[in-house]
């Protein structure tokens, strides 16, 4: 009886081991694919983030440069118009009369006052640009987080589930192999009891 139980148990345990090993191969393949997909997705999202961030910075730098150029042009035009209004255009300071030097002093004061207004306006526009850049950068970060939640998190959840299943299968395979060995021993012991007993008596 032990032989039959052992033989049948060994047969079923061996079948169980093979089934679990086949499932393990499938899970390991899925796990490798999920890990690879996660790495590719992370690289893709990070590349998008870098590209969008660099675009924002480049556009911001161009806008700042354009604003500074515009400001310098405005100051130059302001100076020219004030000096022209005071009749000082094209006259060197050393060649000026006392009256013209007095006008020059007034022109400088007028220019400084108006230039301060122009510079203040530029500062306000710079602050607005910086605020806009910060808002755009925040939008990029929000977009990246949304992409991670929609595309990356499901892959990570799948990877975690597959890893747990792999660990469970490892335990099941170990138990099934132990059952196989136990049934093998039972079969072996049972076969000894089935062997004919020779007493040596004639």
Residue recorded with tokens 């042009």: 73
Highest mean pLDDT: which range of 12-16, 131-135, 178-182 = 131-135
The domain of 109 spans 2-194
Residue 32 lies in a domain: yes
How many structural domains compose the chain? 1
Residue 201 lies in a domain: no
- Identify the pLDDT of residue 202: 45
Residue 153 lies in a domain: yes
Residue 186 lies in a domain: yes
The model's confidence at residue 130, banded by pLDDT at 50, 70 and 90, is very high
Answer yes or no: are the C-beta atoms of 176 and 20 closer than 8 Å: yes
Q: Is the dihedral of CA 119, 123, 125, 126 positive or negative?
A: positive
Q: 1-5, 25-29, 48-52, 108-112 — which is least confidently predicted? A: 1-5
The model's confidence at residue 162, banded by pLDDT at 50, 70 and 90, is very high
Mean pLDDT in residue range 115-122: 92
Kindly report the length of the chain.
202
Residue 173 lies in a domain: yes
pLDDT exceeds cutoff 90 at 31: yes
Residue 199 lies in a domain: no
Residue 200 lies in a domain: no
């Amino acid at each position: 009886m032990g032989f039959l139980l052992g033989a049948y148990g060994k047969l079923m345990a061996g079948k169980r081991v093979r089934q679990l090993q086949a499932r393990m191969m499938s899970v390991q393949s899925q796990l490798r694919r999920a890990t690879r997909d996660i790495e590719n997705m992370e690289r893709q999202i990070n590349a998008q983030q870098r590209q969008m961030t660099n675009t924002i910075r480049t556009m911001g730098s161009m806008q700042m440069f354009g604003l500074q150029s515009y400001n310098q042009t405005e100051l130059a035009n302001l100076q020219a118009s004030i000096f022209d209004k005071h009749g000082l255009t094209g006259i060197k300071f050393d060649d000026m009369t006392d009256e013209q030097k007095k006008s020059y002093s007034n022109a400088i004061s007028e220019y400084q006052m108006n230039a301060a207004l122009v510079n203040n306006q530029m500062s306000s526009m710079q602050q607005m640009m910086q605020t806009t850049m910060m808002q755009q950068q925040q939008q990029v970060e929000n977009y990246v987080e949304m992409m991670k939640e929609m595309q990356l998190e499901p892959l990570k959840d799948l990877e975690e589930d597959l890893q747990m299943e792999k660990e469970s299968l490892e335990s099941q395979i170990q138990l099934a192999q132990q059952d196989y060995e136990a049934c093998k021993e039972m079969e072996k012991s049972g076969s000894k009891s089935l062997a004919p007993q020779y007493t040596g008596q004639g």
